[in-house]
């Protein structure tokens, strides 16, 4: 959906939700959300941050007083994708996982035009609302794009950036749609979900129950479209230490083109291509998270 959606809700906890095809679908998604959040093995709390583009839900965990880390999830999912990483990082960092507006989480469903300054404004409002003068940032797919948008207006607020399967460096590979088309032949929602995962993952990948639930939920959700490719000057705004992690079997973006452009525009950054990993990096999240943790440790 390319147009802005305005949600008239009395409170952040309103049951009505315009991004789902039915109230039942929304309720099911929220049950899955709670189930995923229950896997957090560390104390955590929810906060709602007011912004110019709608209230924003943030889960805060980890250790207060430790270096802050902000986590930005990918498109059409929510912050629960970070639960495993939050469990890993909690002893050494103060963690802030953000539900992006207009996505499946508990933030406002507003979808501002992505070619406008709105997402730069929104990310800045979030870090201001959390009183973070400077923090490490980790972003998956659209989350990486959001870090670049924050850098446009507040580069000094970003201590370091870890970009996982980053969107915005190169266009979406539209052959992905051809790969996923056979999944539509399956009548069962679960069978369709498993087929989508199979057609977009590396060979021999066995999906987790969480992956299956995510792809099932997308069938009753008004999915958001692609993000615009970032301009050279937008990418160059990210002047902090930065690492890019791409899967060599990424079918959403050409990983080789992404790494080439990254190196050209951010020569101070590092990039790694993990063989056997697709866009979701689900094939070996432990290896990815070990790299992220080592990168953070080097930044202090």
The predicted-structure confidence for 48-80, as pLDDT tens digits, reads as follows 999 999 999 999 999 999 999 999 999 999 999
Considering the domain boundaries, does residue 29 fall inside one?
yes
Give the pLDDT mean for 148-172.
Answer: 98
Residues 6+ apart with CB under 8 A from 84: 39, 285, 289
**Residue 106's closest CA among 22, 38, 40, 15?**
15
Considering the domain boundaries, does residue 36 fall inside one?
yes
- Can you list the alpha helix ranges (DSSP code H) found in 102-188? 118-129, 142-154, 175-180
pLDDT tens sequence across 17-49: 789 988 888 988 899 999 999 999 999 999 999
- Distance in angstroms (rounded) separating the CA atoms of residues 76 and 78: 7
Contact by Cβ (8 Å): 221, 29: yes
pLDDT of amino acid 129? 98
pLDDT band for position 4 (cuts 50, 70, 90): very low
β-pairing, 94-98 vs 68-72, is: parallel
| Ramachandran sector of residue 47 (left: φ over 0; alpha: ψ -120 to 50; beta: rest) | beta
Considering the domain boundaries, does residue 28 fall inside one?
yes
Read off the pTM.
Answer: 0.90
Backbone angles phi, psi at 175, to 5 degrees: -65, -15
Supply 172's token pair.
């979406």
Considering the domain boundaries, does residue 1 fall inside one?
no
Supply 168's token pair.
């915005």
CATH of the domain at 100: 3.40.50.1820
- Distance in angstroms (rounded) separating the CA atoms of residues 96 and 76: 19
Contact by Cβ (8 Å): 29, 104: yes
Considering the domain boundaries, does residue 202 fall inside one?
yes
Domain limits for position 99: 23-299
Residue appearing with tokens 């959700």: 221
pLDDT of amino acid 12? 47
The answer on pLDDT for 9 being more than 60 is no
Number of domains in the chain: 1
Considering the domain boundaries, does residue 8 fall inside one?
no
**Residue 86's closest CA among 131, 145, 22, 43?**
43
Considering the domain boundaries, does residue 248 fall inside one?
yes
What is the arrangement of strands in the sheet containing 44-49, beginning at the earlier edge strand?
44-49, 56-62, 94-98, 68-72, 135-140, 158-164, 242-247, 270-274
pLDDT of amino acid 208? 83
Give the pLDDT mean for 136-155.
Answer: 98
Contact by Cβ (8 Å): 182, 201: no
Cα-Cα-Cα-Cα dihedral of 210, 215, 217, 219, to 10°?
A: -170
Cα-Cα-Cα-Cα dihedral of 45, 46, 47, 53, to 10°?
A: 150
- Distance in angstroms (rounded) separating the CA atoms of residues 79 and 61: 12
Contact by Cβ (8 Å): 61, 42: yes
- Distance in angstroms (rounded) separating the CA atoms of residues 178 and 182: 8
The greatest distance separating any two alpha carbons of the chain, rounded to the nearest whole angstrom, comes to 52
**Helix (H) or strand (E) run with residue 218 in it:** none
Considering the domain boundaries, does residue 18 fall inside one?
no
């Amino acid at each position: 959906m390319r147009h802005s959606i305005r949600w008239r809700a009395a409170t952040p906890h309103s049951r009505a939700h315009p991004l789902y095809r039915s109230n039942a679908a929304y309720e099911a998604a929220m049950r899955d959300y709670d189930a995923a959040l229950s896997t957090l093995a560390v104390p955590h709390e929810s906060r709602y941050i007011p912004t110019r583009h709608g209230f924003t839900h943030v889960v805060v965990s980890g250790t207060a007083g430790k270096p802050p880390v902000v986590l930005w999830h990918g498109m059409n999912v929510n912050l629960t994708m970070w639960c495993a990483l939050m469990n890993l990082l909690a002893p050494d960092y103060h963690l802030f996982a953000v539900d992006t507006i207009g996505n499946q989480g508990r933030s406002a469903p507003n979808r501002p035009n992505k070619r406008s300054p709105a997402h730069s404004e929104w990310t800045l409002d979030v870090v201001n609302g959390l009183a973070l003068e400077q923090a490490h940032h980790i972003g998956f797919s659209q989350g990486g794009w959001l870090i670049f948008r924050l850098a446009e207006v507040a580069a000094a607020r970003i201590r370091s950036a870890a970009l996982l399967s980053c969107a915005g460096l190169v266009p979406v590979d539209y052959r992905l749609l051809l790969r996923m088309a056979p999944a539509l032949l399956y009548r069962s929602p679960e069978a369709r979900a498993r087929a989508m995962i199979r057609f977009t993952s590396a060979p021999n990948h066995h999906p987790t129950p969480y992956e299956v639930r995510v792809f099932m939920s997308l069938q009753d959700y008004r999915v958001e479209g692609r993000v615009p490719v970032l301009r050279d000057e937008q990418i160059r705004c990210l002047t902090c230490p930065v690492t890019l992690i791409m899967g060599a079997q990424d079918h959403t973006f050409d990983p080789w083109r992404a790494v080439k452009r990254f190196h050209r525009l951010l020569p101070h950054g590092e990039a790694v291509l993990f063989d056997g990993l697709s866009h979701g990096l689900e094939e070996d999240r432990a290896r990815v998270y070990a790299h992220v943790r080592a990168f953070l440790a080097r930044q202090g």
